[in-house]
Structure 1
Amino acid sequence: MMNNNIPMHRRNFKISPILFILLFCSGATVSAQGFSEGPYGIGYFDIAGPFTVLDLNAPMPGDVSQDDTIDIEDVMVTLGAEIGTVEINEEQFYLADINSDGILDTVDLVSIVNLIYNPENSEWSFQDAWNGQESYIFIHYNPSVSNSTALWISNTKQALLENSPLNVHYLFISDRSSSASDVQAIKGEFDEILESFDPALQDHWKTHLHFIPTKTSELDNWLADALSDKYALGIDRFQQLKQIGYLGNPDGFTGTHMSYLAHETLFYNYVWDAVFDPDSNYDEITIFDKELYSGGWASSITQVVEFPSNEELDQYSAMKVELLRGCPDADGNYSDDGCDDYDRIAHMYLCDEDGSNCYEIARWITPFDRQPHHLTDITPFISVIRPGGTRLIKFQESGWPNSLLTLKIRFYTSEDDPEESPQEFRPMWIGTVQFNPSYDENRPSTIFDVPENATRVEFVTYITGHGWGSAGCYNCAEFCNSKHIFSVNGGTYEFDTSYPEAGDGDYCMELETIVQGVIPNQYGTWGFGRAGWCPGMDVTPFITDITEYVEIGDDNIMDYEACRVSGNDCVTPPVCQGDGYCPEIAMSSYIIIRY
Structure 2
Amino acid sequence: MSRWSASLVACAWIAAACGSDNDSTQATCEPACLAGQDCVDGACVGEPLPDADGDGVPDESDRCGSTATGSAVDESGCSWAEAPVPLPEGPYGTGIRDAAGDFTVQTLGGSFAFHASWTGNDSHLFLVRAAGNAYSDAIAGSDVGAFLAESPANVHYLFLDVEDDEAARRAAQEAMLSRFEEALALLDPAVAAQWRTRLHFVTDAVDALDGSLGAFFAAHPNFAFGIDRFGRWREAGSLYDFNDGAPHLRFLAREAVGFDYERRLEREMGAIAATEVVVFDGDRHQGGWEAGHTTSVEITLPSAAEMARFDSMAVYLYTACPGHLQGLEAGCNEWDYAHHLFVCDEEDPASCDTELVRYVTPYGREGEWLTDVSPLLPLFANGGSRTLKYTGANGYDMHLRILLWDAGKQERPVEVRFLYGASGAIPWNEEYNGRFEPVKFTVDDPTTTRVGIYNVVTGHGFGSTWENCAEFCDSEHEFAVNGTAFSESHPEAKDRYGCFARVDQGVVPNQFGSWPFGRAGWCPGQDVKPWVQDVSDVLVSGENEIAYRALFRGEPYVPRLGGGGDYLPELRLQSWLVRYERK
- TM-score normalised over the length of structure 2: 0.78
Tell me if 1:286 matches 2:274. no
Residue 46 (structure 1) aligns with: 98
Residue 107 (structure 2) aligns with: 55
Residue 249 (structure 1) aligns with: 241
SS where residue 273 of structure 1 aligns?
A: helix
1:49-104 CA distance string (max 9 Å, x none): 222222332xxxxxxxxxxxxxxxxxxxxxxxxxxxxxxxxxxxxxxxxxxxxxxx
After superposition, residues 559-574 of structure 1 pair within 5 angstroms as 559-565=547-553, 569-574=554-559
Residue 478 (structure 2) aligns with: 485
SS where residue 468 of structure 1 aligns?
A: coil
Is the 8 Å Cα contact of residues 345 and 363 (structure 1) preserved in structure 2?
A: yes
Q: CA deviation at 1:315?
A: 2.5
Q: CA deviation at 1:211?
A: 2.1
Distance 1:536 1:295 in 2: 16
Tell me if 1:174 matches 2:164. no
Is the 8 Å Cα contact of residues 45 and 334 (structure 1) preserved in structure 2?
A: no
Residue 345 (structure 1) aligns with: 338
1:493-538 CA distance string (max 9 Å, x none): 321111222233222223xx33222222222222222111122222
1:176-216 CA distance string (max 9 Å, x none): 21355133432333234323333212221121112221112
Tell me if 1:427 matches 2:418. yes
After superposition, residues 98-497 of structure 1 pair within 5 angstroms as 122-142=110-130, 147-151=135-139, 153-179=140-166, 180-181=169-170, 182-228=172-218, 229-252=221-244, 254-277=245-268, 278-297=270-289, 299-328=293-322, 332-337=323-328, 338-352=331-345, 354-397=349-392, 400-414=393-407, 416=408, 418-431=409-422, 432-450=425-443, 452=445, 453-472=447-466, 474-489=467-482, 491=483, 493-497=484-488
Distance 1:591 1:123, change over 3 A: same
Residue 587 (structure 1) aligns with: 573
Is the 8 Å Cα contact of residues 140 and 227 (structure 1) preserved in structure 2?
A: no
Deviation larger for 291-300 or 262-271: 291-300
Distance 1:305 1:404 in 2: 18
Q: CA deviation at 1:142?
A: 4.1
Residue 26 (structure 1) aligns with: 66
Q: CA deviation at 1:583?
A: 0.9
Distance 1:576 1:186, change over 3 A: closer
Distance 1:275 1:557 in 2: 42
Counterpart residue type for residue 277 of structure 2: I
Is the 8 Å Cα contact of residues 310 and 387 (structure 1) preserved in structure 2?
A: yes
2:88 is aligned, of 31, 36, 59, to: 36
Is the 8 Å Cα contact of residues 314 and 404 (structure 2) preserved in structure 1?
A: yes
Q: CA deviation at 1:143?
A: 5.6
Deviation larger for 424-433 or 48-57: 48-57
1:506 is aligned, of 483, 497, 512, to: 497
Residue 6 (structure 1) aligns with: none
Q: CA deviation at 1:149?
A: 4.2
Distance 1:54 1:413 in 2: 52
Identity %: 33
Residue 28 (structure 2) aligns with: none
SS where residue 222 of structure 1 aligns?
A: helix
Q: CA deviation at 1:167?
A: 0.6
1:231-287 CA distance string (max 9 Å, x none): 0111111222221111121125x2221121111111221222233223442232332
Distance 1:369 1:516, change over 3 A: same
Q: CA deviation at 1:433?
A: 1.6
Residue 535 (structure 1) aligns with: 524
Counterpart residue type for residue 180 of structure 2: F
Q: Which protein shows a greater Rg?
A: 1
Counterpart residue type for residue 523 of structure 1: F
Tell me if 1:547 matches 2:547. no
Distance 1:255 1:25, change over 3 A: farther
Q: CA deviation at 1:357?
A: 4.3
Deviation larger for 459-468 or 494-503: 494-503
Counterpart residue type for residue 500 of structure 1: P
Is the 8 Å Cα contact of residues 100 and 212 (structure 2) preserved in structure 1?
A: no
Counterpart residue type for residue 149 of structure 2: E
Give structure 1 regions of 4+ aligned residues with deviation exceeding 6 angstroms.
none
Distance 1:594 1:43 in 2: 48
Distance 1:272 1:369 in 2: 22
Is the 8 Å Cα contact of residues 462 and 565 (structure 2) preserved in structure 1?
A: no
Is the 8 Å Cα contact of residues 43 and 334 (structure 1) preserved in structure 2?
A: no
Counterpart residue type for residue 116 of structure 2: D
SS where residue 501 of structure 1 aligns?
A: helix
Is the 8 Å Cα contact of residues 462 and 469 (structure 2) preserved in structure 1?
A: yes
Distance 1:263 1:469 in 2: 28
Distance 2:113 2:277 in 1: 38
Distance 1:576 1:155, change over 3 A: closer
Distance 1:269 1:573 in 2: 43
Distance 1:412 1:296, change over 3 A: same
Counterpart residue type for residue 133 of structure 1: N
Q: CA deviation at 1:333?
A: 4.2
Is the 8 Å Cα contact of residues 283 and 410 (structure 1) preserved in structure 2?
A: yes
Distance 1:232 1:164 in 2: 15
1:281-310 CA distance string (max 9 Å, x none): 223233223332223317122322111222
Is the 8 Å Cα contact of residues 333 and 364 (structure 2) preserved in structure 1?
A: yes
Distance 1:539 1:158 in 2: 33
Q: CA deviation at 1:138?
A: 0.6
Higher relative contact order (CA 8 A, sep 6+): 1
Distance 1:497 1:390 in 2: 35
Is the 8 Å Cα contact of residues 465 and 560 (structure 2) preserved in structure 1?
A: no
Distance 1:193 1:471 in 2: 44
Distance 2:518 2:480 in 1: 27
Counterpart residue type for residue 370 of structure 1: R
Aligned length: 490
Q: Structure 1 unaligned runs (5+)?
A: 1-23, 58-121
Distance 1:340 1:38 in 2: 30
SS where residue 176 of structure 1 aligns?
A: coil
Distance 1:410 1:143, change over 3 A: farther
Counterpart residue type for residue 32 of structure 1: P
